[in-house]
Structure 1
Amino acid sequence: MNRKVLFAAGIAMALPMLSGAQVPATEDFATLTKRLQADKPTFAQRQQSLLAERYDLADRPATGTTMSRGKPVQEGVRVKLPSGTSWENLAALSPEEVKERQLWPAGFLPLPHPHHEAGGMIFPKFLIEETKQQTDRDLTRFDLDFDLPDHLLPEFPAPIYLTTRPDLGDVSQGKLVTLSNFNDIFKDILNPKQLEGLRLLVTPFPQQQFNAIEDRRSLKPSQGVACFDCHANGHTNAATHTVGDIRPNEHRHRIDTPTLRGLYVQRLFGSQRALKTVEDFTEFEQRAAYFDGIPADAARKGTNVLERGSQVHFMAEFQALLDFPPAPKLDVFGKLISAKASESELRGQAVFFGKGQCASCHAPPYYTDNLMHNLKVERFFNEVTINGRKASADGPIKTFPLRGIKDSPPYLHDDRLLTLDDTVEFFNLVLELKLTEQEKQDLVAFMRVL
């Protein structure tokens, strides 16, 4: 055997160990399935107990505000406080005092994946059911289910707004766009190149947990997953995963699937923001995130290598057409039109651009600076491992656009914040703002109209 072959074989054997991934098991698929299905209730109960301990998960919709198609927006702070304290008292303490007294709310710690040790893509039930009905593909995992309740997730199917045809409003016709209907919906709206890009975005390709070999987590061999299985209708359905580019496994983040709306104003992509164009992201997503950053797995399970000059460009062009939802109370500079705004919204805007310091990162009109910032949240708590996830320093995180933010719960990069109210309380502590209760309420009111 020559040196090149030996080197390639050595890399293939070493990659799983370097990545933290398990070496493929020797048990057959039937035995594997039976074992993991037997373990499933234990891990599901572990995760649900954690969620109940951290959050108020009740269905409590806000009055007078909905997402773009009418799904209620959930209101109120859902993170539970440590016994014997209040948000006001907590905000009066220094980070060192919060850490010393162990008063950091558990819901502000990183949120683990539904089964963090196993990781991988997992989809809400409503997406699984609609995809199966339309395309006969089954995105069910036999080893675990999605964890958060539907009322805390984005509306489904989400509306689609195009930069090229704002006159049409929502072009989705109220349907989940899949391989079975994309042509009928878009044939008279897109040009042939854009239509081909959309076809590729709804085409399933092999992925770590959904593939045709025995090392999978679907009962039947699977065609794989499509970009729009997570980014349903170019938005998000809160499907989650664990990042492929952090090791060891306990440091891997749960991923909040971001919306693709407004992608045309963004400049950082991928879970570690290492990709600088949407073309880069589109080309490498199926080689990296799809296979947990393990090239040997990608080759073994059937990675789809996209051609940059045609396929990648076509997909990226369609993604760049996805627009933010209408915001009728905003002017061309992204600020409130006074005659259309409530007193609370106007006060909230003043807090956003003043005492709240929100605009330092979230600059109008799209409310992002296209940078990354390190919040240094680890100032407030001692490192601890919870359900397989080590709560420690997160490092720099991306400034996501806030345009249309009410349509995209839950929040932060790992879904730990369930409502905009939670988000305000989190940043009030992290940035040491000492906002009043009225200022917090007004800030939420402002963000709901963005």
Structure 2
Amino acid sequence: MQILRIAAGAVLCGATCLISAAPPTSYMPVVAKEDFQTTFERMKAARAGLMREQAAFLESRYDLANRPANGVAMFRGKPVQEGVRVKLPRGTSWDKLGAMNPDEIREKGLYPQGFLPLPHPNHPEGGMLFPQFHIDEIKKQEQRDLNRFDLAFDFPDHLLPEFPAPIFLTTRPDLGDVSKGKLLTIDNFHQMFNGILNPKQLEGLRLLLTPFPQQQFNQTEDRRSERPSRGVTCFDCHANGHTNASTHLAGDARPQEFRHRIDTPSLRGVNLQRLFGSQRALKSVEDFTEFEQRAAYFDGDPVIATKKGVNVLERGSQVHFMGEFQNILDFPPAPKLGVTGKLDPRKANEQELRGQALFFGKAQCATCHTPPHYSDNMMHNLRTERFFKPHQAKGAMMVGDGPIKTFPLRGIKESPPYLHDGRLLTLEDTVEFFNLILETRLSATEKAELVAFLRTL
């Protein structure tokens, strides 16, 4: 009997039967379709082409140049990048765009591409990706390899947070940066923190630095590491309890093109937060820790998690101990802020003070970002879909983001890129984004003043 292929993957068997394509599924395939060596050779050969394509995509959206701000640095001296990096559609300007209403921007197709959701370097594949500087340091200290044979991280280092990041503790502010310029790992944590933490916190830190199997890094034939892997740690993304801008896809949505890229948020100040996960709204850091191990490490699929070696942590001791350490991670010092979280007028300059007035006034930032840690611990939907028509780019759907948690702004200059998926490269980009979304119509001078204030937080 002749079999003819027709649209949508269905097959026509002569004139007597129609067999439809496989129905949609929320589950990943458990049984591999090819042996590891075949997968390795196929995906490794495709890697260079995928990364060239992603680089061209980023260049079409952003100015990726290394352009540091004069005299502005992170705590340990890494220059802060300046300037709007999102590229505008030809023939328009930020002032012209800011004067238009959402319907007009949508109909004319003028919404900046860099304000759209940011796809993963290979969105149909997804998975955890680490900056090369982190990969190299972990390999040096632990001989654990976080390189993927199919993909590499996509943003240049100068647009990422300081590495290794400083560590500040709410319990010992007198110590300043406890890291002393070192990356905290399973090899050095005891030497670094014994005598500073209590036994529960020390055990929690050990677990945060212990490798556990993950979707791309495990011992199965469908892993994405060349050799069988011990896995990843919580602090492979939240390096030194902060962030190194590692990326992943949120496991919360299906199908794959609707999954959102994740920019790793800082863990500093989690003791002040009441919601965890950019869109999950988990209610405690313990919930988040447990969720990450049981599901998020495996793309939200508990079936594949069982195959790959899920590490089920005991809530009353292990998860609680991990939470105890996370809850003492503090923000970096902000010497220009008073005890209420606002600028001390004796220490701030006029531009910063004008920026603060805008933050609490015309710019509407304080509607969500309230002092002293500049978050209202709530979720908000910016309804960005007002400005553009849904479409697909690089395997990801360009649609509205839905409700997003209000991230704290304390220490914000230390954790680029910005927004939940890292689509905004600088604070200037972030101000332009919210000026458009909130329709606040700030002038160029007011935008600069607002950025100056944000750098003091």
TM-score, length basis structure 2: 0.94
Match of 2:214? 207
Deviation at 1:20, TM superposition (A): 5.6
- Checking the alignment, whether the CA contact within 8 Å between 1:20 and 1:247 is kept in structure 2 is no
Q: Does 1:34 align with 2:41?
A: yes
Deviation at 1:284, TM superposition (A): 1.7
Deviation at 1:232, TM superposition (A): 0.2
Structure 2 matches for 1:356-371, cutoff 5 A?
356-371=363-378
Match of 1:169? 176
Q: Does 1:284 align with 2:291?
A: yes
State the secondary structure of the residue aligned to 1:241: strand
Deviation at 1:212, TM superposition (A): 1.0
Structure 2 matches for 1:171-210, cutoff 5 A?
171-210=178-217
- Checking the alignment, whether the CA contact within 8 Å between 1:383 and 1:391 is kept in structure 2 is yes
Q: Does 1:434 align with 2:431?
A: no
Matched residues in 2 for 1:115 and 1:409: separation?
A: 21
Q: Does 1:306 align with 2:313?
A: yes
Q: Does 1:238 align with 2:245?
A: yes
Matched residues in 1 for 2:197 and 2:397: separation?
A: 45
Deviation at 1:21, TM superposition (A): 3.2
Count how many residue pairs are aligned between Structure 1 and Structure 2.
435
Matched residues in 2 for 1:281 and 1:369: separation?
A: 19
Q: Does 1:372 align with 2:362?
A: no
Deviation at 1:27, TM superposition (A): 1.1
Deviation at 1:23, TM superposition (A): 5.3
Match of 1:259? 266
State the secondary structure of the residue aligned to 2:346: helix
Match of 2:327? 320
Q: What per-residue deviation string (whole Å, max 9, x for no partner) do you get for residues 210-267 of structure 1? A: 0011120000000100000000000000000000111111010000100000000111
- Checking the alignment, whether the CA contact within 8 Å between 1:173 and 1:185 is kept in structure 2 is no
Which one of the candidate residues 78, 97, 108 is aligned to 1:101? 108
Matched residues in 2 for 1:415 and 1:24: separation?
A: 33
- Checking the alignment, whether the CA contact within 8 Å between 2:30 and 2:304 is kept in structure 1 is no
Matched residues in 2 for 1:357 and 1:430: separation?
A: 11
Deviation at 1:271, TM superposition (A): 4.2
State the secondary structure of the residue aligned to 1:422: helix
The one-letter amino acid paired with 1:18 is T
State the secondary structure of the residue aligned to 2:118: coil
- Checking the alignment, whether the CA contact within 8 Å between 2:201 and 2:324 is kept in structure 1 is yes
Matched residues in 2 for 1:270 and 1:264: separation?
A: 14
The one-letter amino acid paired with 1:177 is L
State the secondary structure of the residue aligned to 1:82: coil
The one-letter amino acid paired with 1:260 is L
Structure 2 matches for 1:416-431, cutoff 5 A?
416-431=423-438
Matched residues in 1 for 2:59 and 2:285: separation?
A: 37
Percent of residue pairs identical: 69
Match of 2:411? 404
Structure 2 matches for 1:130-169, cutoff 5 A?
130-169=137-176
Q: Does 1:84 align with 2:97?
A: no
Deviation at 1:17, TM superposition (A): 5.8
Q: What per-residue deviation string (whole Å, max 9, x for no partner) do you get for residues 272-310 of structure 1? A: 323100111111211111000111111111000001111
Match of 1:74? 81
RMSD of aligned residue pairs (Cα, Å): 1.0
Which one of the candidate residues 225, 229, 236 is aligned to 1:229? 236
Matched residues in 1 for 2:431 and 2:313: separation?
A: 41
Which one of the candidate residues 122, 135, 140 is aligned to 1:128? 135
Deviation at 1:26, TM superposition (A): 2.0
Matched residues in 2 for 1:437 and 1:238: separation?
A: 29
Matched residues in 1 for 2:338 and 2:188: separation?
A: 36
State the secondary structure of the residue aligned to 2:155: coil
Q: Gaps (5+ residues) in structure 2?
A: 1-22
Q: Does 1:55 align with 2:55?
A: no
Matched residues in 1 for 2:27 and 2:265: separation?
A: 26
Deviation at 1:388, TM superposition (A): 0.5
Match of 1:11? none
- Checking the alignment, whether the CA contact within 8 Å between 1:20 and 1:248 is kept in structure 2 is no
Matched residues in 2 for 1:151 and 1:21: separation?
A: 36
Matched residues in 1 for 2:30 and 2:295: separation?
A: 18
Match of 1:6? none
Matched residues in 2 for 1:298 and 1:379: separation?
A: 38
- Checking the alignment, whether the CA contact within 8 Å between 2:336 and 2:348 is kept in structure 1 is yes
Matched residues in 1 for 2:32 and 2:327: separation?
A: 42
Q: Does 1:333 align with 2:344?
A: no
Match of 1:43? 50
Matched residues in 2 for 1:419 and 1:20: separation?
A: 37
Q: Which runs of 4+ in 1 moved over 4 A?
A: none
The one-letter amino acid paired with 1:195 is L
Matched residues in 2 for 1:312 and 1:263: separation?
A: 15
State the secondary structure of the residue aligned to 2:289: helix
Deviation at 1:120, TM superposition (A): 0.5
Matched residues in 2 for 1:341 and 1:118: separation?
A: 47
State the secondary structure of the residue aligned to 2:263: coil
Match of 1:10? none
The one-letter amino acid paired with 2:349 is S
State the secondary structure of the residue aligned to 1:313: helix
Q: Gaps (5+ residues) in structure 1?
A: 1-15
- Checking the alignment, whether the CA contact within 8 Å between 1:242 and 1:254 is kept in structure 2 is yes
Matched residues in 2 for 1:59 and 1:90: separation?
A: 26
Match of 1:343? 350
- Checking the alignment, whether the CA contact within 8 Å between 2:32 and 2:221 is kept in structure 1 is no
The one-letter amino acid paired with 2:44 is Q
Matched residues in 2 for 1:376 and 1:313: separation?
A: 36
- Checking the alignment, whether the CA contact within 8 Å between 2:276 and 2:288 is kept in structure 1 is yes
- Checking the alignment, whether the CA contact within 8 Å between 2:81 and 2:158 is kept in structure 1 is yes
Which one of the candidate residues 390, 396, 419 is aligned to 1:389? 396
Matched residues in 2 for 1:327 and 1:374: separation?
A: 29
TM-score, length basis structure 1: 0.95
Q: Which has the larger radius of gyration?
A: 2
